[in-house]
Amino acid sequence: MSDPKVSEAVAKLYNTYPFPPEPILDEPPPGYNWRWNWQAAYSFCTGQKPPKNDIRILDAGCGSGVSTEYLVHLNPEASVVGIDLSEGTLAVAKERCKRSGATRVEFHHLSLFDADQLEGEFDLINSVGVLHHTADPIRGIQALAHKLAPSGLLHIFVYSELGRWEISLMQKAIALLQGDKRGDYVEGVKIGREIFKNLPKENCLRRREEERWSLENTQDACFADMYVHPQEIDYNVNTLFELIDASGLEFLGFSNPKVWDLDRLIGNSPELMERTKNLTERERYRLLEVLDPHAITHYEFFLARPPLPKQTWQDDAQLLAAIPEPSPCNYGWQESPSFFDYNYQLAKISDAEWNFLRACDGNQTHQKSVAQLLQSVDATLEDVRSLQKQQIILLQHL
């Protein structure tokens, strides 16, 4: 169960410093995060477009409503529920969504341990940066899993101990200097900033802060969330999968798979890559994080409640009969074959692939098959597979 003292301390932090501290706008938020777009997330996890869009979404630990706002605007047919244990932060979330027109949302003052008090199940549950701040993450993830509908997706984000090693040390230093005043978060921020100011420039804690975190930590809310949080549990691959296994859900994969590609580290050695074939998937993940610890500051991944049908599109007949459409998370693709993909990275596609992508424009309405569109453009089935693999197009069965 939740620890009331931990919950009270965490709520006090976020009442003092509502988080995330992004400004409130009188318009929809800019851009997108594809992990919060139901169609893009479902396609990433299954290879195909979801069978329905009128879904229920839970933002578990919604904070100041940044993720909640995106979930509403990126999923126009969905109903959204946000919960958080900080009343002050919830007030910011309500104002944020009201101002931007994110009206298909309701908020409840609940911790994720109390998710059972919510009515019904959810097709998509988002819980970013929350479980590691609870006293019992295993009970927390089980509480969320219990609210997940069959074929539903759970998106989780938790911290890594290796990539946050310097952060952990600074947390301990601030706590030591605060003594019995720990829990005075304003003072903790002041002490932390004074430490960084006076550490030698070559000090590894200061160097890591300046190289990686200092830009976002100009805001006191970010600094407080990182360095004076009263509760944090960091993970490695081994303990992470203990958490995942306890959920009883299916692990679908990390949502930043390029980071987890060993080829980027040891791909120039065929001998080493051959040796990795003797490792389990989890051992390969562990090998990567110990070889490149600073790259793994967190784990973001999807879980699912079976049954969740998946499609690889290796069968030519199935692919030819599929209905393709552009991903909702492409930016600028109508004007040029150089555009931003779902990860805000520059897409690298051929002229043939771009021609097919443009032919898909409006196909949400026209419902033409891959076979029909290929008759009008100079492209191949492999071009279609490439676009699907890169999450540039979504595919659905007839």
pLDDT digits (tens, 9 = 90+) for 125-154: 999 999 999 999 999 999 999 999 999 999
Residues 81-120 pLDDT 10s: 999 999 999 999 999 999 999 999 999 999 999 999 999 9
Tell me: pLDDT of 239 over 90: yes
pLDDT tier, 398 (very low <50, low <70, confident <90, very high otherwise): confident
pLDDT in tens, 333-379: 999 999 999 999 999 899 999 999 999 999 999 999 999 999 999 99
List the end-to-end C-alpha distance of the chain, in Å, as a whole number.
Answer: 46
Measured CA to CA in angstroms, residue 28 lies from 18, 71, 98, 306 at distances of 20, 11, 10, 34
Percent of the chain with pLDDT over 90: 98
Q: What confidence score (pLDDT) does residue 104 get? A: 96
Pairing between strand 298-304 and 148-159? antiparallel
What pLDDT is attached to residue 185?
Answer: 98
How many Cα atoms within 13 Å fall on the side-chain side of residue 142?
A: 10
What confidence category does residue 397 fall into, taking pLDDT thresholds of 50, 70 and 90?
confident
d(CA 70, CA 97): 9
Write down the pTM of the prediction: 0.97
- pLDDT of 1 reads 54
For the chain, give the mean pLDDT: 97
Question: What is the biggest distance separating any 2 CA atoms in the chain, rounded to whole angstroms?
Answer: 74
**Residue in 286, 290, 294 with CA at minimum distance from that of residue 204:** 294
Give the mean pLDDT of 9-34. Answer: 96
